[in-house]
């Protein structure tokens, strides 16, 4: 590690802006794919695995005009699913000379190192959420076993890329995937939160460039919308909420090196009817409504400062977390799209 604060030559009279021109990174929207929109603080210190109990039920009954003595039974199978946790750690070392030199540049070295360590851990959390620490074990949302994988089919003109695709047909394709997603999760007729996560270049085209033809979709009063606007309007008509978020690490992560777009329902509602409820068993408590999870042991990284010989300070920042965990794979669709 290094804190490079060189000397400089300055002309006088002159003016120095007090603000610092910082290097900005993408603020990933990947965590919106999780239930509650954030990792859940559930792990204890040193917990190496997280487990979820799951029940599968099979029911049979007889129907006859006369009472029978040989009757079927309800079968409930209990099983356990699990995922490992990993300890993320990073350190910073500096002394009073480093802090004084950094102060000449108008900022706090202590705060810069603290924020840098937090950013490093948060970026690693993003990577593990999407791709897992060990992808071969099905870790990460992109590698979820049982998730629906779809490739963008050709439109009616034979176009297969985002930049050439028919804009109206792209909107219909996305709405079809969302409808199929809600159908698999038995969420039709109930408002749901839908998350669409993809690279800026792909989703940005849907929001700003791909205008849907007036003959395919028209708002009240006239005028047209881009692909994303049509999707949002149709979901709004059905009472759904859509989060349109971005992460450029999904570039090239689809099938055959295409861009990946993740569409998921982070948490579901229990399907229910009136007095006669064919989903009665779902009332068993406590039930888990989350579809995508990530567990950690604290809300923010722990910082452990330790004095070093010679007046220096060593600060270790750490946090334990699982990978992204698609506990309901039917609530996850991964679309592969060729950008150009």
Number of structural domains, the chain? Answer: 1
Task: Please report the pLDDT score of residue 218 as a whole number.
Answer: 53
Which long-range CB contacts under 8 A does 20-26 form with residues at least 24 apart? 20/105, 20/106, 20/107, 25/119, 25/123, 26/200, 26/246, 26/247, 26/248
- Counting as low any pLDDT under 70, the low residues of the chain are 1, 210-224
Cα–Cα distance list, 147 to 170, 329, 333 (Å):
21, 5, 6
pTM: 0.90
Task: Please report the pLDDT score of residue 227 as a whole number.
Answer: 84
Task: Please report the pLDDT score of residue 224 as a whole number.
Answer: 64
Task: Please report the pLDDT score of residue 154 as a whole number.
Answer: 96
Task: Please report the pLDDT score of residue 221 as a whole number.
Answer: 42
Task: Please report the pLDDT score of residue 270 as a whole number.
Answer: 87
Task: Please report the pLDDT score of residue 240 as a whole number.
Answer: 95
Task: Please report the pLDDT score of residue 114 as a whole number.
Answer: 96
297 domain residue, yes or no: yes
Contacts of 79 (CB under 8 A, 6+ apart): 53, 54, 55, 56
Q: Which domain holds residue 333?
A: 30-337
- Could you tell me the CATH number of the domain that includes residue 235? 3.90.1690
11 domain residue, yes or no: no
DSSP per position, 178-241: HHHHHHHTT-TTS--EEEEEE-HHHHHIIIII-BPPTTT---TTS---BHHHHHHHHHHHTT-E
7 domain residue, yes or no: no
Task: Please report the pLDDT score of residue 277 as a whole number.
Answer: 87
9 domain residue, yes or no: no
14 domain residue, yes or no: no
1 domain residue, yes or no: no
Task: Please report the pLDDT score of residue 92 as a whole number.
Answer: 96
8 domain residue, yes or no: no
5 domain residue, yes or no: no
């Amino acid at each position: 590690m290094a804190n490079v604060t060189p000397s400089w030559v300055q002309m006088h009279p002159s003016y120095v802006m007090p603000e610092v021109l910082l290097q900005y990174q993408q603020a990933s929207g990947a965590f919106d794919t999780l239930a509650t929109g954030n990792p859940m603080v559930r792990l204890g210190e040193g917990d190496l695995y997280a487990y979820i109990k799951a029940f599968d039920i099979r029911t049979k009954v007889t129907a006859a005009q006369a009472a029978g003595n040989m009757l079927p039974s309800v079968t409930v199978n209990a099983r356990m699913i699990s995922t490992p946790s990993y300890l993320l750690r990073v350190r910073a070392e500096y002394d009073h000379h480093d802090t004084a030199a950094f102060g000449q540049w108008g900022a706090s070295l202590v705060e810069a190192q603290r924020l840098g360590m937090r950013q490093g851990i948060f970026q690693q959390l993003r990577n593990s959420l999407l791709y897992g620490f060990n992808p071969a074990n099905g870790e990460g949302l992109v590698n979820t076993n049982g998730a629906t994988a779809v490739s963008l089919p050709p439109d009616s003109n034979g176009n297969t890329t985002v930049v050439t695709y028919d804009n109206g047909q792209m909107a219909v394709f996305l709405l079809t995937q969302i409808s199929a997603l809600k159908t698999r999760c038995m969420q039709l007729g109930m408002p749901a939160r839908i998350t669409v996560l993809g690279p800026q270049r792909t989703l940005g085209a849907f929001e700003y460039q791909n205008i849907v033809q007036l003959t395919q979709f028209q708002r009240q009063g006239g005028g047209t919308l881009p692909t994303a606007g049509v999707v949002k309007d149709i979901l709004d008509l059905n009472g759904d909420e859509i989060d349109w978020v971005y992460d450029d690490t999904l570039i090239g992560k689809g099938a055959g090196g295409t861009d990946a777009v993740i569409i998921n329902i982070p948490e579901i509602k229990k399907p229910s009817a009136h007095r006669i409820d064919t989903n009665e068993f779902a009332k068993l408590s406590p039930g888990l409504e989350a579809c995508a999870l990530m567990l950690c042991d604290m809300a923010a990284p722990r910082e452990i400062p330790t004095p070093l010989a010679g007046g220096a300070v060593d600060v270790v920042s750490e946090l334990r977390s699982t990978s992204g965990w698609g506990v309901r794979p039917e609530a996850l669709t991964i679309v592969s799209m060729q950008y150009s």
